[in-house]
Amino acid sequence: MHLNEIIQILLYIVLLLVLAPLLGKFMAKVFQGEKNILTPVFGRFESLIYRVLRIDPNEEMNWITYMWCVIIFKLMGMFILFLLLITQGWLPLNPQNLPNVKWDLALNTAISFSTNTNWQNYGGENTMSYLSQMLGLTVQNFVSAATGFVVMLAIIRALMRRKGKTLGNFWADMVRSILYILIPLSIIVAVILVSQGVVQTFANYETIKTITGADQVIPLGPAASQIAIKHLGTNGGGFFNANSAFPFENPTPLTNFLEMLAQLLLPAACVYAYGRMIGKIKEAKAIFAAMLIVFIIGLGVSLYSEYSYNPVLSTAHNMEGKETRFGVANSILFSVSTTATSCGGVNAMHDSLTPISGMVCMFNMQLGEIIFGGVGSGLYGMLAFIFLAVFISGLMVGRTPEYLGKKIEAFDVKMAIIAIMLPNAGILIFTAIAASINAGISSVLNSGPHGFSEIIYAYSSTVGNNGSAFGGLNGNTLFYNLTLGADMLIGRYAVIVPVMAIAGNLVKKNITPASSGTFATDNALFVALLVGVIFIVAALTFFPVLNLGPIIEHLLMMKGVSF
């Protein structure tokens, strides 16, 4: 690695460490309905929204009502997006006269964007009209990210309150998340992107002559506005097919660095917002430390693999599938950041990563949105692991497990295990089916373990609500559109429903004062225990399937065999 690459990685981590607490403090004020720096700008507009929609932001909901608001709101958004896509050919803002989207692809895409997955079985510039991109996909980028916030807020309030019954108001949480956090940050990022050359226009595509005299179509569109929320909301859907490897999405080193930072910024800030809201910053720092440790381990392994000697390519500097303007280090940092969150944007082709680097991306997603993870969803996913770790520690010391003074009982542990294991089952079951039938195998480009990795990666990405892909798999078939869509729903709602049930159970409990026998959850010992539980659960679940894919491929690659 060159010195400037090391400096960029260190700068990336330092900026994350500096900005996350600052943004987290602001977010805590927003979530608690307190006056903040943007209240003079958006305060009246927020009140107007409540009046128009006839919402009382102070009217709180119990956990069942809150959960059904989440589910019904998202299902309605998915249905509206589906209708928009299958009728886009008849609607305005379609300068390329793109046809209606086929029903199974439209269903897959509607599920994808409404669940914050943004898996794409299509090329954006060849499939989606400007209206579909703006009114359909970009709107879902905002509301799906805000959905992660609102579920996070429900579980935080459950931990904060003594013998309560309610968890807040879904509509107020949704409005504040979008109005004060997602929109302002997206405007800032979009303006910077436009200043660097990212396109934002309603003009038709341009046809130019290449130096060989051939015609080449240059796609355009209102891209910058979608790309900003794509990264900030950990959405990941590319306006163009090549995603952030395409110069009109990611033209300069500055935009590349900004897009990577935007992926982790809000998930990391959520941790500090949590610490502010519960009044215990040390708890937030412990969670942040666990996330950062797992992130750095994955980054280190991936960088080591990409810079190690490759007998197939006869080089120790693997540039296969990467943009020369970004190089190895920035491509790997992007790949680890995008799979450590639920972003899924890519600036290099993950199909061309070395087997171990590809495995790191898979493993990040298989952990279940907890290495910072999605906006909001990363924190509540990590809390499920925390409840499990606290339960294990309670067994070891012979005490009833507690977290923040709340007793973690059998129901809470069962729900946490469901939230952790049901998405894992979705990965393994659908992978087994796809690898066993012709409808699944026929879409695979490569043979052997690499072809198997393409299948594992697809279902890991969709269950993990990530959306990145190994480029070799053709997912635009009836079988994959439907099964990957089902996996996205499992990955989103098989976590949200148990987490909401835990919130409903915890909010009713009293807070027990800490005593000399209380197991501390804000020190290095608990961080080590939490990281250990995460790796043990993931290793026991996924080591066999990873052994059949990237691990055996790596061993064969070292013998000079490729697929």
Query: Which region among 102-111, 145-154, 517-526, 549-558 has the lowest average model confidence (pLDDT)?
Result: 517-526
**pLDDT tens figures, 220-263:** 999 999 999 999 999 999 999 999 999 999 999 999 999 999 99
Residue 217 maps to a domain: yes
> Among residues of the chain, what percentage have pLDDT more than 90?
87
At 312, is the pLDDT very low, low, confident or very high (cuts 50, 70, 90)?
Answer: confident
**pLDDT tens figures, 510-554:** 998 877 777 889 999 999 999 999 999 988 999 999 999 999 999
Residue 539 maps to a domain: no
* pLDDT for 74 beyond 80: yes
Contacts of range 193-198, beta carbons closer than 8 Å, 24 or more positions apart: 193/224, 193/227, 193/228, 193/255, 193/258, 194/224, 196/251, 196/252, 196/254, 196/255, 197/247, 197/248, 197/251, 197/252, 197/255, 198/223, 198/224, 198/227, 198/248, 198/249, 198/250, 198/251, 198/255
**pLDDT tens figures, 367-426:** 988 899 999 999 999 999 999 999 988 887 777 789 999 999 999 999 999 999 999 999
Q: Which residue has the higher pLDDT, 562 or 443?
A: 443
How far apart CA 416 and CA 496 sit, in angstroms, is 11
- Which residue segment(s) compose the domain that 76 sits in? 21-266
Tally the residues of the chain.
563
Structure tokens, 108: 């897959």
Per DSSP, the three-state class of 315 is strand
Residue 131 maps to a domain: yes
CA-nearest of 395, 394, 367, 369 to 534 is: 367
Averaged pLDDT for residues 93-116: 96
Query: Which region among 170-174, 193-197, 351-355, 471-475 has the lowest average model confidence (pLDDT)?
Result: 471-475
* pLDDT for 17 beyond 80: yes
How far apart CA 202 and CA 463 sit, in angstroms, is 34
Residue 144 maps to a domain: yes
How far apart CA 106 and CA 373 sit, in angstroms, is 26
Per DSSP, the three-state class of 209 is strand
How far apart CA 344 and CA 326 sit, in angstroms, is 18
Mean of the per-residue pLDDT values for the chain?
Answer: 94
Q: How many domains does the chain have?
A: 1
Residue 113 maps to a domain: yes
Res 153: pLDDT:
97
Res 76: pLDDT:
96
Averaged pLDDT for residues 441-453: 92
Residue 181 maps to a domain: yes
How far apart CA 266 and CA 142 sit, in angstroms, is 13
> Among residues of the chain, what percentage have pLDDT more than 70?
100
Residue 1 maps to a domain: no
How far apart CA 227 and CA 179 sit, in angstroms, is 18
Residue 57 maps to a domain: yes
